[in-house]
Structure 1
Amino acid sequence: MARRSWRIDRALTALAVSSVLVGAALVGAGPASGAQRARTIAPSVLYSEFDISAAKGVARAHLLTVDLRNPQVRVGLLHPQAVAARATVSRLADAQRAVAGVNGDFFDITESEHPGVAVTGASDGPAIADGRPLKAAVPNGQRFGPVLPPGTSTKDVLGVGTDRTARLDRLTLSGSVSTPQGRLKLGGLNQFALPQGSIGAYTSDWGSVSRRWATCGTDSDRAAPCSKDTYEVTVRKGRIVATAARPGSGPIAAGTTVLVGREAGARTLRGLSEGERAQVQHRLVATTSRVRYSFAVGGFPVLRHGAPLPGLDATTSAVRTAVGITDSGHRLLLLALDGGPRYRGGLTVAEVASVLGKLGATDGFNLDGGGSTTMVTRASKARAASVRNHPSKGAQRPVPNGIGVFSTL
């Protein structure tokens, strides 16, 4: 094993150094212009930083290179104890003892559209942690973040399967409620927004934040008024134990599912009665592969099979976090930029795709950016992770999830 690990690390070091030199080439100069040699964070996990020449100025980039072929290294979802909760990337990494990490998906961040309705902090897209689905995707029109590239969806994910191979995929909710009145289709799982006319399931993974937000807005307009036609049913041990006219709040006990309906979904739930049997089942189904995912996080693709997606924004420059997949899914490139005027410019989404391609990625995925962009690493003997980049607001923003890098060595 030691000889195999040494070979992997040597090959990875060569890749990381070549990535640094590519970064230097992007500013039209050699390594002395800002590129630095890679530093080992853990076996098969390397960190480097370099400058990128972009349309709005020079951007400072931070790169983690992770070799998934090393069985002692893995990536997983950084997340708080609840879907509707947030914490800084460093706190999430410390809690889960990750050796490195970056922020993840876009998320519910403002209450301006619906005063008086609590901000959930929950992410837009699907999330899987340790093989367990935590949530499904909100409707496209309800998401937070920049405009999606044509043909993409809130269901798009970056995932790593049980085969330890990274892929871009799309995860769709498949769920139902078996009742005496028939089988009811689920339209949501632990989401901050439900499709119009649907029924959503909320479990102990959701947290204690009010579920009312899920019935606000429409499939095409996040700012539309909250629905006045709602209903809630609580299922425990296969039976309906409570009903309510409005979505509630507070923690949900393990083994309990709360069903929230809006419009047609609410009218269907009103036909159920306390004491009746009800069996809830749900799973996330991959649409472009048959792999079982151990980890998945939302965002949107920008690079497929070595080519940028058509229609990527080439105008708006911002601080970005992104992931590149290379070496047939066996390596991940986690990229985060410095923020704030002191640390120069950002990248457009089109430039993100270009940079990932020049770093050797065949597929690329854009994550939340701006004030959320954060990269952390933890030295082998350190108790706490250190922030590597400079967050835009001068401090880390609490986020709902991230990508963690873990090592058993």
Structure 2
Amino acid sequence: MKKTILSLTFLLCSFTGFAQIKYDTLSVQQIGDGMYHYTIEAPSVPWTFDVVEVDLTRPDTKLETVKAQDTFGGYERTSSMAQRKSYEGHQVIAAVNGDFYGGGNPTNAQVIKGEIIKKPISRDVFGYTKGKKVFINPTTYTGKLSQDGNEYDITGVNQSRTADALVYYNHYYGASTGTNEFGTELILTALDEWVVNGVVKAVVKEKTTSGDAALSDSTFVLSGHGTSKTILDGFEAGDTVVVHHQLMPGFDDIKEVVGGRGKFLNDGNNEGDWPERHPRTAVGFNADSTKLYLLTVDGRQSTSAGMTLTEMGEFMKRFGVQNALNLDGGGSTTMVVHNQVVNDPSDGSGERAVANALMVVSLKQKTGVLEHLKLDPTFKKLYRGNTFTFTARGSDENYYPVELDPQKLSFSLSENFTATIDSEGNFTAGDAPDTGYVYVDYEGMKDTAMVIVKGITEFSLFPKYAATDSSYEFSFFNESFDFDGQKRGVSNTDISWQVGSEEVGEVIDGTFIGKTEGTTPVIGTYDGISDTVEVEVQIGGGIETVSGFEDLEGWSLSGENLDLQNSELTVVDSTFTEGSHSVRLDYEFVYDNDPNIWAYLETDIPVFGVPDSINLDARSDGKRHLIELELADNNDELYTVRVKKWAENTQFDIYPALTSDITPVDPFSSFYYPITIKKIGIKLASDQQSGERYSGAIFLDNLEVVYPNRTVVSNEKTGDSEVPNDVSLNQNYPNPFNPTTNISFRIPNASQVDLDVYDVLGRKVASLVDRRLSAGNHTVSFDAGTLSSGLYLYRLSTSEVSISRKMMLIK
């Protein structure tokens, strides 16, 4: 227990600082003599690691590699290989997946118990010798067959025999060599223990010229063709020969080799060259080669992002690792401890079958007598209200697992810890930040785990500033983080809200509702942390002209695929809708197989309040152009809103852009008022004839914002104090409309009133009022169900005045 607590404390202290990332050692489990399994996480990234530390000096500890299915082309899960290679007096304590592979064959060299099964390529290998020396470096192969001072080159290992080749085969290749009859094959038995970079004596059991010699786990074959056949023809059954496989550079008496890709730690220097984050598997060792480390980091999932080789190198250096090799990663990444997969493989189907594995083996015996009790994990952090299941594990004196009787386990919590735990170890955190302990008791044996229940330490409200009116409601959002920097979802309904001026507005479950014009702070509080934002209620009414296009001040021309040298904006007085001028756009372009030809009138016009639409008067040259506005919201995020009809009328027409149709340029934007008009975009039409030059002119006038009509009107005569002083005609609402709208007006005296509707050619299409009305406010409903979409004028006439306004019907 003391060793575990000391290791945990050391890791919690030392694993803070790499790029300001906080690491938590969740568990330190002794899994064998001089062997420890660490579970570590960095929630802020996030990363989840499993690390096995092995003391290579222990006499009953060794390393081995294993080939899937013990054969070329075989696939097998790492956990299956570990279980298959465990037997009495030879227990696989831990294992990780090995080399990259194709067709079930490892990419690089592999040596198993001194038997070479594949030659190396130019990549690095991890090697382990009979004397427990370890190394990581690229190697090259040479093979020799010798007898009585004569030496011959072995040219291949477990591969197809080619012309004049001398190939070494063992049982990993398959049931037989697969060779033809045009050669000679010696079937041999090794007299010495197999090693690479050492000599092995062998005796010839049989010589055959029929080809396809059988392979077994007690024999090997040397197969020769051409000149090599002639060499082997000189041997006879009963001859003693020497076989010498060499992987250089490397130590003598190599027993195990497994390949990888990328020695990313080289004598303490971080040489990682794989910049993408992926699940990773690695093997490494310390400066004096007495400690070995196996590492997996999960990836491609919300709980762990995977690592670059540089990041993995920095992490492993904190264990004192000086040299490390990247093994196969991605969906292959797997770590097994005592026949259990302890990491979280990224493949959707779970653990992946791979080509080979690297194993840590103990030669100690199992006793089956319980000596150690351990809670897993040793340390846990949970967000408030979350659940987790603690597991009690038993082991014998050699740290082999011992099964526990669940009925004899008793879980409890430290005093005043506001959490719960049941008889099966299911822990539920309380609703407030807290720290406490979980206890487990098993027939008098005890262990303890520390638990931190996390709350929010950073809380920010958004938007920081927004505008609204008395009918448009919007919701706040928040970004909240715990003390590990993990983002937490906090519901608006769980936040305490306070509005500085309740006359201006109120907040209900995070939604602001405006009442009267004014500005107010809004304060949100969660877990005792507050943040303040500002809301301005701006109530607009009727129609406001934001640009009469009487001049070009505040406007500039740009474009996409537009000939800007031959395109220009000018102010003209020959045609207009209001005022005395309009702006003329003369455009020119050559069509080059790209239909996106845009003219942009750039500006920067802030808009008050929450309009229904933004209207533009335009006169086309008869081509079917499109008009689109670009807007910026309160946070300068960009949005577009397109007019839903062609700009093709050769007379001035109204082109409305409805704010309900606003679309974000970045789909992850959050829209809030107030808005700013940034540009008017005109997508220019053409016949789309490649190489053809097109030109034309478009007139623009009277850029307006239209607000909802919030005036409550009645046909009843008002009191004397409410009698209007003059005749007025309000903008219809809604506008644009389909197919009905309301038109309101007021008259100061009882009089004859005519209210008529005209189309753009001046033809009367409807008579809404033709009678004497009393003084006061009046509203008339207009149903345009029989009319076509377009611009219409409505005119109010009394004995004193005549007033006209425009409205837009969109179907």
Would the TM-score normalized by the shorter structure come out above 0.5? Answer: yes
Q: Paired residue for 1:174, among 142, 155, 165?
A: 142
The residue matched to 1:36 in structure 2 has which SS?
Answer: strand
Matches within 5 A, 1:4-403: 10=3, 14=6, 18-19=10-11, 21-23=13-15, 25-26=17-18, 28=20, 30-31=22-23, 34-51=24-41, 58-80=46-68, 82-84=70-72, 85-97=74-86, 98-109=92-103, 121-130=104-113, 132-138=114-120, 140=121, 153-154=122-123, 156-177=124-145, 184-190=152-158, 198-208=165-175, 233-237=184-188, 238=204, 240-244=207-211, 251-252=215-216, 254-257=218-221, 259=223, 267-269=226-228, 277=236, 281-300=242-261, 301-309=263-271, 312-378=272-338, 385-393=339-347, 394-403=349-358
Aligned to 2:634: none
Paired amino acid for 2:289: G
Q: Distance in 1 between matches of 2:275 and 2:281?
A: 17
Larger radius of gyration: 2
Q: CA deviation at 1:335?
A: 0.4
Paired amino acid for 2:143: G
CA contact (8 A) 1:234 1:257 kept: yes
Q: Distance in 1 between matches of 2:5 and 2:345?
A: 27
Identical amino acids, percent of aligned pairs: 21
CA contact (8 A) 2:215 2:221 kept: no
The residue matched to 2:131 in structure 1 has which SS?
Answer: coil
Q: Distance in 2 between matches of 1:103 and 1:304?
A: 22
- Computed over aligned residues only, the root mean square deviation of the Cα atoms, in angstroms, reads 3.8
CA contact (8 A) 1:187 1:194 kept: no
Q: CA deviation at 1:51?
A: 3.0
CA contact (8 A) 2:164 2:229 kept: no
Q: Distance in 2 between matches of 1:280 and 1:292?
A: 18
**Aligned length, in residue pairs:** 337
Paired amino acid for 1:304: N
The residue matched to 1:362 in structure 2 has which SS?
Answer: strand
Task: Describe the superposition over 1:132-190 as per-residue Cα deviations: whole angstroms up to 9, x where unpaired.
Answer: 2232424x3xxxxxxxxxxxx24x322233333433245543323569xx854222223
Q: Distance in 1 between matches of 2:29 and 2:164?
A: 52
Paired amino acid for 2:157: L
Q: Distance in 2 between matches of 1:208 and 1:36?
A: 47
Q: 1:331 to 1:231 in 2, by over 3 A?
A: farther
Q: 1:279 to 1:101 in 2, by over 3 A?
A: same
Higher relative contact order (CA 8 A, sep 6+): 1
Task: Describe the superposition over 1:101-120 as per-residue Cα deviations: whole angstroms up to 9, x where unpaired.
Answer: 111122223xxxxxxxxxxx
Paired amino acid for 2:26: Q
Q: Distance in 2 between matches of 1:29 and 1:234?
A: 61
Q: Paired residue for 1:404, among 356, 359, 363?
A: 359
Q: 1:272 to 1:326 in 2, by over 3 A?
A: closer
Q: 1:273 to 1:344 in 2, by over 3 A?
A: closer
Q: Per residue, is there more strand in 1 or in 2? A: 2
Aligned to 1:263: none
Aligned to 2:660: none
Paired amino acid for 1:308: N
Q: CA deviation at 1:376?
A: 0.7
Q: Distance in 2 between matches of 1:91 and 1:255?
A: 26
Aligned to 1:149: none
The residue matched to 2:258 in structure 1 has which SS?
Answer: strand
Q: CA deviation at 1:129?
A: 3.0
TM (normalized to structure 1)? 0.69
Q: Distance in 1 between matches of 2:10 and 2:213?
A: 51
